Structure formats: structure tokens, C-alpha cells
Amino acid sequence: MLTNKDLLFISITTKPILWIEMIFVYTLFSVIPQEYIYRVFYFYRYKHFFKSSWKFNLVNALVFSLGHLMFNSPLVMLITFIGGYFFAHTYQKTKSMLWVSVEHIIYGGWLFTVGMGKMLGFPI
């Protein structure tokens, strides 16, 4: 509503099949690789560098956000930083790539649904 109210819910109301396809593509080619790299690999590889879990999660969120620099958008950087912190916290609590991926799919799908998919490089 704040960034472009004309796009609010446009994907699901005008192109519901494309919306479903994009959620599927997003899950397979974006969420799963990102969660493997930024949660599974990162937590395995770098957990011994940090004594504080909130600092570890903060750095993970920063790294996740920096992984989205290609979109050249301060809003994307902010959203991915906040989401990255949530994802790190979820992974730290559950140790489950499945649950953190489900969370990531829900948040990303919500962005597509409310019309913010284009800012993340998707056609809706």
C-alpha cells in the first residue's frame, strides 16, 4: 500500500496461475538454495566463531541481506535483513531446514501476493 497501491493483490487477482507457478519456482530455485547456504552451511561452518547467539543471528541476517545487494534497493535490504534474522532464529531453535524454508516461503509468497514480487526480480 505504501510503495505502490496499484499493485496490491494484482498478481493473485489478475494472474492466479502465474502466481502459483512463481511460488513453485521461488521455492525450488530461491528458497531451498538460500536456506541451505545461509542457514545449514552457515550454521555448521561459523557457529564456533560466536559465543552469543543473538550476535550470530545478527551477522547471519546481515550476510543474508548482503546476498540481495543485486536488487539495488534499500527496501529489499531492510526486508531481507529482518527476514534473515527471523530465519536465523527459527533455524537456531528448530535445526530444521524444512521449517525455516516453510517460513521463508510464507514470507516470500506474501510479498508476491501483496504486489512486491517485481522488486525481488519476479514478473509479478
Q: What is the pLDDT of residues 103-115, one digit of tens each?
A: 999 999 998 888 8
**How many domains does one find in the chain?**
1
15 in any annotated domain: no
Please, what sign has the CA dihedral across residues 35, 40, 43, 45?
A: negative
pTM of the model: 0.90
Domain residues for 62?
26-112
- Distance separating alpha carbons of residues 103 and 89, to the nearest angstrom: 11
pLDDT at residue 83 above 90? yes
pLDDT at residue 102 above 70? yes
58 in any annotated domain: yes
45 in any annotated domain: yes
pLDDT of residue 1: 57
pLDDT of residue 3: 63
Backbone angles phi, psi at 9, to 5 degrees: 60, 15
pLDDT of residue 122: 72
49 in any annotated domain: yes
11 in any annotated domain: no
Averaged pLDDT, 21-33: 95
120 in any annotated domain: no
